[in-house]
Structure 1
Amino acid sequence: MSEQQTAKLSIIVPVYNDPAGASGTIESLLPQLGGDATLTVVDNNSNDDTPHVVAECITESDQATLCFEQERQSSYAARNTGTQETDSEILAFVDADMTVPDDWLESALHEFETTNADYMGCNVELTLPDNPTLAARHDHHTGFPIEQYLEYQQFVPTCCLFVRRHVFEDVGLFDHRLTSGGDKEFGNRVHEAGYKMHFAEDVTMSHPTRNSLRALIKKDRRVGRGLCQLQQYYPERYGEPGIPPRPSGIKSPDRDLPTSDRAAFSALSTFLTGVRGLGYYREYLEYVRGSNNEANSGPPTLE
């Protein structure tokens, strides 16, 4: 394998139809690459100019490559492809709309090594646009409580995740069958296997808010589908399909908010819970009809 493939750490960025997000992420990551760190961008069969934009962004870097996942439309499949493309000891997963400060990688690696963690999540700060909408303010207030996810649900979102390669070799890769929830399912597998999980509170990344109701609806519909798929594939862990799991409560509006914001956020949260329910039952109907034949395939292994 090439020097690119055998570096100590590989940053894996899946992308689908997001040239602006991908270029911003790559721009923030490239200056931090070196002999021990490389970047692998995985295009998930984009039908716009994303691959061209990514190729232009990395054209002058010997430490960055572009590869493709075209067989399956799934961010988890793209992350698996990126993992399989390297022999790196440590895999860092970053989404294509994230940005990081200049010392992010150095700080993250220091935290990862000094804590002897096997699985680590970074802190994520959501950035608001000028004149934010209600949707953006709601997303800013409720999004990415990484520490609580790790403490109460034993997982870290894949936008800010570090994992040692031997963990994948032991428990398998991400479950590419899942529309959403693959980060939770993988984290739960890692927890059950007894690996050390850690939250790096002082290692911060930035993620833009979702700024429209349409964007929030799209996300929550996908989350609802993923909740049902988790039950289809792992009923012993998440319950039998037919009854959605109860909301965790992590995203409840803060009691210190002004009354008007609390009321608006509560109403929007109730509406989005309904959207998740619709996504859940759409997936459940497919399950009842027996049109999903992947229940016994399981996540892929890393060989």
Structure 2
Amino acid sequence: MVIPVYNDPAGVSDTLDSITQSVTQPATLEILVVDNGSTDDTRDVIRNYTQDHENVHLLVEDEIQGSYAARNKGIQHADGDVLAFIDADETVDDDWLETALQAMDEQNADYLGCNVELTLPEDTLVGRFNARTGFPVKQYLENEHYAPTCALLVRREVFEDVGTFDSRLISSGDREFGERVHEAGYEQGYAEDAVVYHPARTSFDALAKKNFRVGRGFCQKQRYYPDRFGNPGIPPTPSGDDIGDGDENDPDSTFTRLAFVFLSIAMLACRGLGYYYEFLLGEKRDDVPAPTS
């Protein structure tokens, strides 16, 4: 299992607590926590877990800043035939991993997305909006052939064939990798009963920054893969409903719906700003290697 982390001691502690308590046979699970250049006490928190759990190991990726570089570091050091990826602020059901592995075998899948449920650390309007529009993993797999790296299992042979994640990308590297896997003909699956819990972003600033990164990431994909994603300068056409349905029993549902419309437009604008920021100011990263198998 590979868990990338950057400056999140509380998040990685929650995740490691959840993982180590949910695994019935700890010796069979190798947990690789990859610190991506944290400047706080994140690395010390991880070291404390390595002392208490023989199957928890600390890796460091200080050369390349980015979650995909951190995941690639984990891939390089992992020993298992199946690699599981989650994020450092998530928790899991007690039988999450066993359920996911069983689904992988039953579906004969080489690449498996899991069910991601968003939780509300605090009840804010932005948090509720994010929870409604968060991670429809099944739709991602059916329509775009990828699952987010916050809840993903991949057989090692897939990486050996198509290469690792593209660490040049600031965002959307999970989609680029998933589409590469699909184009190579590997079987992709989905495990509805394997649940991972991801905290929703509850502040406007946090959600805006995420959407800004997503916009930058799409422009980067066009820069590196124009044959697949189009030429830089022409952003993708928005698709889907990012608003969600109001609650008929909520007396403030009209206000909530209008607020969700505003937030949807605002987040789309943040993606556009990120896209054109990258288009005007970004450059190809020759210092970071392209994906290799």
TM-score bracket, normalised by the shorter chain, equals: over 0.9
Aligned counterparts of 1:220 and 1:37: Cα–Cα separation in 2: 34
Alignment of structure 1 residues 120-269 onto 2, 5 Å: 120-130=112-122, 132-254=123-245, 258-269=253-264
Contact 1:148 1:250 in 2 (8 A): no
Aligned counterparts of 2:241 and 2:171: Cα–Cα separation in 1: 18
Query: Partner residue of 1:74?
Result: 66
Aligned counterparts of 1:23 and 1:248: Cα–Cα separation in 2: 36
Gaps of at least 5 residues in structure 2 are: none
Q: 2:5 aligns with which of 8, 15, 29?
A: 15
Equivalent residue letter for 1:121 = G
Query: Is 1:272–2:267 an aligned residue pair?
Result: yes
Equivalent residue letter for 2:207 = L
Q: 1:294 aligns with which of 256, 281, 286?
A: 286
Alignment of structure 1 residues 78-117 onto 2, 5 Å: 78-117=70-109
Following TM superposition, by how much is the alpha carbon of 1:250 offset from its aligned partner in structure 2, in angstroms? 5.0
What secondary structure is seen at the aligned counterpart in 1 of 2:69? Answer: helix
Following TM superposition, by how much is the alpha carbon of 1:277 offset from its aligned partner in structure 2, in angstroms? 0.5
Aligned counterparts of 1:46 and 1:163: Cα–Cα separation in 2: 27
Following TM superposition, by how much is the alpha carbon of 1:115 offset from its aligned partner in structure 2, in angstroms? 1.5
Contact 1:224 1:277 in 2 (8 A): yes
Contact 1:253 1:266 in 2 (8 A): no
Contact 1:25 1:99 in 2 (8 A): yes
Aligned counterparts of 1:207 and 1:51: Cα–Cα separation in 2: 22
Instruction: Work out the percentage of aligned pairs sharing the same amino acid.
Output: 53
CA offsets per residue over residues 187-211 of structure 1, 9 Å max, x none? 0000001111011111111011101
C-alpha RMSD of matched pairs (Å):
1.6
Contact 1:171 1:193 in 2 (8 A): yes
Following TM superposition, by how much is the alpha carbon of 1:58 offset from its aligned partner in structure 2, in angstroms? 2.9
Q: CA 1:74/1:296 → structure 2, altered by over 3 Å: closer, same or farther?
A: closer
Contact 1:118 1:197 in 2 (8 A): yes
Gaps of at least 5 residues in structure 1 are: 1-10
Aligned counterparts of 1:194 and 1:294: Cα–Cα separation in 2: 29
What secondary structure is seen at the aligned counterpart in 1 of 2:244? Answer: coil
Aligned length: 287
Contact 1:286 1:292 in 2 (8 A): no
